[in-house]
Amino acid sequence: MAKHWADFQYEIYLHGMTGTVPRLPTDLTRLERVAEQRLGPGPVGYVAGSAGTGSTAVANRAALDRRRIVPRMLRDVQERDLSVEVCGRALPAPLALAPVGVLSIMHPDAESAAARAAAAQGVPYILSSASSTPMEEVAEAMGDGERWFQLYWAKDREVTRSFLHRAKAAGYTALFVTLDTPLLAWRPRDLDQAYLPFLHGVGTANYFSDPAFQAGLAKPVHEDPNAAVRHFVGMFADPAKTWPDLAFLRENWDGPIVLKGILHPDDALRAADAGVDGVVVSNHGGRQVAGSVAAADALPRVVEASAGRLTVLFDSGIRTGDDIFKALALGAKSVLLGRPYAYGLGLDGQAGVEHVLRCLLAEFDLTLALSGHSRPATLTADDLIEESV
């Protein structure tokens, strides 16, 4: 019989016969609480925090919870295949690790540990521009693992061009362009602690190692790190960018381009007309616009507007295997996982991230089977009902 992701539960039970239990919770919704107990308030607050009162993050969860699965019986689910194709790449499951920056605040092995964990499970890793580790080092840590690069679109065109060329040379196969962060949102949890890692040169590794960035400095980074930080802050994001600027990215990137942060169907139409390959329906996990529409509520309209012209991915609120099921049933091709793997990293390094991935995919595999499905492609909106508010 073929091995399934769900077999992880029996591995846990067998270890239990020798008195060994998991180091981290298998209910991934508990990870944030454990992280707050064991890790520093600044780092945990930075990962867990949201814009304003946190209402958008709450809405993300409510939108997923409001949708309920309707299981079907007496269907052959003995053999299951969770594989999908995204951005022209064959993946073992509809899951990738979302770009999360400044991971060194959670664990000294930072992005390299998360990337190794993803590679070990065959899951794509999306490296943030704002990583604590240069993109080339993360690529080396992953070996042949599938890796995608996330771009925070800088004001300086030459820095952006350099990032794209470096990423391509390091084996990153798809470009994810985050559109929803032209400015940092009002985030009280960080503001109350005056905690912004970038001002201390954390999360700037790709910039400080970049020749185009260095060309804009009067002195090398190590001679005047404060000047390097000021230069970074001045060019990190650009609120003046508009749709025609996408042409520059296509001129400098010959692989798939995915726009992250799409919530309105008209923006999906503009993305398709611009010739990009996909979109991520996302509100940045509630970190950017307080009071925003929940990502799961936006997803069906974006899928409809895309009309098969775009690959539609989803993030913002994924915590469990049934969340993945629901997102796929609403039309997403795959999902991105963010905060839970960051907590796993902070609590147990690479092993913690692998634990999170294996738990999530085991739960999804079981949810799929117990609901009468053997592969993601058979999921549709008919497999859900929406509870009235």
Give per-residue pLDDT as tens, 23-77: 999 999 999 999 999 999 999 999 999 999 999 999 999 999 999 999 999 999 9
What percentage of residues in the chain have a pLDDT greater than 90?
98
| Domain presence at residue 386 | no
What angle, rounded to 10 degrees, do the helices at 339-370 and 8-16 form? 100
CATH number of domain containing 279 = 3.20.20.70
Query: Could you tell me where the DSSP H helices lie in the chain?
Result: 8-16, 31-38, 41-48, 55-66, 110-121, 135-142, 157-169, 188-191, 205-208, 211-214, 225-235, 246-252, 265-273, 295-306, 321-329, 339-370
What pLDDT score does 1 carry? Answer: 41
Q: Catalytic positions, please? A: 284
pLDDT at 388: 83
Q: Does some domain include residue 38?
A: yes
Taking the C-alpha atoms of 112, 41, 186 and 236 in order, what is their torsion angle to the nearest 10 degrees? -30
Comparing C-alpha atoms, which of 306, 330, 322 is closest to residue 314? 330
CA distance 310 to 302: 10
Taking the model in full, what pTM does it have? Answer: 0.98
Mind listing the pLDDT tens digit for each residue in 280-330? 999 999 999 999 999 999 999 999 999 999 999 999 999 999 999 999 999
* In-domain check, residue 223: yes
> What is the domain extent for residue 339?
5-72+97-374
Number of domains in the chain: 1
Tell me the average pLDDT of the chain: 97
Q: Answer yes or no: is 90 within a domain.
A: no
> 215-251 burial, b if ≥16 CB within 10 A, otherwise e?
ebeeeebeeeeeebbebbeebbbbeebeeeebeebee
Q: Is 82 contained in some domain?
A: no
> Tokens 């022209």 appear where?
88
Residue 258 placed within a domain: yes
Q: Which pLDDT score, from 0 to 100, does residue 295 have?
A: 98
Which band of pLDDT confidence, cut at 50, 70 and 90, is reported for residue 2?
low
Residue 183 lies inside a defined structural domain of this protein: yes
Asked if the structure places residue 388 within a domain, the reply is no
